[in-house]
Amino acid sequence: MAKYLVTSALPYANGPIHFGHVAGAYLPADVYVRYLRMSGHDVLYVCGTDEYGVAITLKAEQEGVEYGPYLDRWHQEIKALFDQFKIEFDIFSGTARCPYHQETAQTFFKNLLDCGLVNDRVERQWYSEESGRFLPDRYLTGTCPECGHTEARGDECPSCGTWIDASALGNPTSLIDGSKPVLKETRHWYLDLPRIQAEGLGGWYANEDENHPHKKWKPNVDGHVKAMLKDLRERPITRDLPWGVPLPEGVTDESGKVLYVWFDAPIGYISQTMEWAEKQGDVEQWRDWWQNPDCRLVHFIGKDNISFHAIVFPAMLLGQKDSWNGKELNLPWSIPAHEFYNLQGRKFSTSSGWYLDNKSFFEKYSADAARFHLMLTSPETSDSEFTWEGFQTTNNSLLADKLGNFAIRVIKFAAKRFENKVPDSNGSCDDDPSLKQADVSFASIGGYIENNEYRKAAQALLAACDSLNQYFDNHAPWKLIKSDSEDDQAKCASIIERCIAYLDLLSRRMSPFCPTAAANLRQMIGQAASDEADIWGDESASSAPARVAAGAELGEAEVMFPKIDDDQIAAEIERLLASDIA
Ligand SMILES: [Zn+2]
């Protein structure tokens, strides 16, 4: 059994998250974690909100709200959506609320400085004399030097997407007070990525051993890494801001310097591991996840986060050398980066009204159907999208008609014909091509999940249900039961026993995707359910589920996936179009 530390990108506590985020960095991680746990691995799943940075301070200031309450609001709202999706972290904290974060981030900075991997220099940045503060990044608006767009930001042009050197911005204006800023000297610190590349990162990526972690990474990550390594430059890691992790004491006498949010945020994975470990009674346990070379570090992210998780954070980890008690920190073992997930042909956008109302969605539809649909349409190799019609099809034609239908017809048949008990099997219908086909499909699911191929895993589950329905249809137990032949009667009993045995297996294989429905299914098979609800179990295609003891009492048939009718879907689409203000 292996040890896994799984992380999902820290969502920015600056607004709501939507299904697109969930499909990218959170739900696949939750499915992966549930599967690993059922397979007996030791897993820790860490996430929390990213709570520093200009985007937060600026918006809180514009709303006239203090940073703390502003962050709490979004932290809670984001957590609520994860809860609705049944995404279960071992810890969900935040970079400003985690008691270990500030010190850990400062130590990271200090270690890099001590190892000669951080340089400082004085440069000129825009400063508002009216407000008496520097205006980093989005605090500044002006004309884009590339395209002439007049509302470009200090860090990026929203029109042409160019990264902007703030000193090149035309007609710069302070966004907080409308004043014309002046250039003023200020000292900043830079992460020396070229040097870290020369001292280790380059070699790590040049390792062509087939077993080296990066050799298995997806093409979207691999391509990005190769392009970046060709032209690595220093990156600023400090800012003049009133909100952030202050520079460690003794580094400078100048006040108002904080760590740049991109630098402190990924350290949140470590500080929140410490917070989790403290809650387990021993904070030092964090080392077993970050310094144990046998622990596999897996980062689930969206594609916009690849450079930080594949290059910058590994550089920060490598640059720590053996500063943490003489031991190095682990580098990522896997980086499943997902593409974007859209809504009915366009990007999700809360501000332009193109989104799903999370609260009303879960009042009407089940988390399991949403989870399964998002995984079946997972943006794992290319951009993908949520459509209401697609969701209806998944729920009605796939989950209800294939999976739910098989369960209900078996349980109802047993209730009516076998006194709601498992009938005695003579094994006469064990050997069957449809069941063999189901075995093959069931046996492939785990491997697909491990490989981050969630679409294939979901499809395999449905294929197994197809095979099971075929088995039922081909043998037509409803005819056999009415036959005068004892042979036919025995056959009928054998078929139903097999179906119940496979329902037990089905409940476990569907569990990472649809945990609630899986538990319902186990209730439906009552005493016939094995004791192994949380155990993935034998995965070889050549082994069929064990014989279920005759006479075991079954539960009650229950609709797991209520159908969604056409009118309801039409109303949802109408509502979406009506809320669109773009
Ligand atoms: Zn532009």
Show me where the domains of the chain are located: 3-116+192-338, 118-189, 387-528
The Cα–Cα gap between 152 and 144 comes to 5
Q: Give me the helix-helix angle, 486-510 and 405-417, nearest 10°.
A: 140
- The domain defined by 387-528 carries CATH number 3.50.50.60: no
144 CA to centre of ligand 1 in angstroms = 5
Summarised one tens digit per residue, pLDDT across range 408-435 is 999 999 999 999 999 999 999 999 999 9
CB neighbour burial string for 497-508, b if at least 16 within 10 angstroms, e if fewer: bbbbbbbbbbbb
150 CA to centre of ligand 1 in angstroms = 8
Percent helix, strand, coil in the chain, to 5, is: 50, 15, 35
CB neighbour burial string for 403-437, b if at least 16 within 10 angstroms, e if fewer: bbbbbbbbbebbeebbebbbbebeeebeebebbeb
Summarised one tens digit per residue, pLDDT across range 170-225 is 999 998 899 999 999 999 999 999 999 999 999 999 998 988 988 889 888 999 89
The Cα–Cα gap between 356 and 361 comes to 7
Which pLDDT score is estimated for 353? 87
158 CA to centre of ligand 1 in angstroms = 7
Summarised one tens digit per residue, pLDDT across range 333-365 is 999 999 999 999 999 988 888 999 888 999 999
Which pLDDT score is estimated for 320? 97
143 CA to centre of ligand 1 in angstroms = 8
Tokens at residue 315, please? Answer: 């550089």
136 CA to centre of ligand 1 in angstroms = 18
Say yes or no to pLDDT of 553 above 80. Answer: yes
180 CA to centre of ligand 1 in angstroms = 20
164 CA to centre of ligand 1 in angstroms = 9
Q: In what order do the strands lie in the sheet with 3-8?
A: 91-94, 42-49, 3-8, 295-302, 337-338
Say yes or no to pLDDT of 258 above 80. Answer: yes
167 CA to centre of ligand 1 in angstroms = 15
Summarised one tens digit per residue, pLDDT across range 1-47 is 899 999 999 999 999 999 999 999 999 999 999 999 999 999 999 99
Residue 7 · residue 47 · CB < 8 Å: yes
Query: Maximum CA pair distance of the chain?
Result: 98
For 15, counting Cβ atoms within 10 Å of its Cβ (0-12 exposed, 13-18 middle, 19+ buried), the class is middle
Summarised one tens digit per residue, pLDDT across range 119-150 is 999 998 999 999 999 998 888 999 999 999 99
Phi/psi at 399 (5° precision): -70, -50
Contacts of 268 (CB under 8 A, 6+ apart): 10, 48, 50, 93, 94, 95, 98, 101
Identify the residue whose tokens are 């080392």. 287
Which pLDDT score is estimated for 582? 66
Q: Cα 441 to the chain's mean position, in Å?
A: 25
Summarised one tens digit per residue, pLDDT across range 495-532 is 999 999 999 999 999 999 999 999 999 999 999 998 87
339 CA to centre of ligand 1 in angstroms = 24
151 CA to centre of ligand 1 in angstroms = 9
pLDDT > 70 fraction of the chain, expressed in percent and rounded: 100
513 CA to centre of ligand 1 in angstroms = 43
148 CA to centre of ligand 1 in angstroms = 6
Summarised one tens digit per residue, pLDDT across range 96-125 is 999 999 999 999 999 999 999 999 999 989
- The domain defined by 118-189 carries CATH number 3.40.50.150: no
146 CA to centre of ligand 1 in angstroms = 5
For residue 527, what are the CA distances in angstroms to 500, 550, 554? 11, 10, 6
Identify the residue whose tokens are 């990044």. 137
137 CA to centre of ligand 1 in angstroms = 15
311 CA to centre of ligand 1 in angstroms = 27
24 CA to centre of ligand 1 in angstroms = 28
Residue type, 186: T
177 CA to centre of ligand 1 in angstroms = 23
Residue type, 373: H
Residue 460 · residue 448 · CB < 8 Å: yes
157 CA to centre of ligand 1 in angstroms = 5
pLDDT > 90 fraction of the chain, expressed in percent and rounded: 85
- The domain defined by 3-116+192-338 carries CATH number 3.40.50.720: no
Residue 145 · residue 210 · CB < 8 Å: no
Residue 35 · residue 512 · CB < 8 Å: yes
Residue 238 · residue 247 · CB < 8 Å: yes
304 CA to centre of ligand 1 in angstroms = 19
Residue type, 517: A
Say yes or no to pLDDT of 158 above 80. Answer: yes
348 CA to centre of ligand 1 in angstroms = 22
169 CA to centre of ligand 1 in angstroms = 10
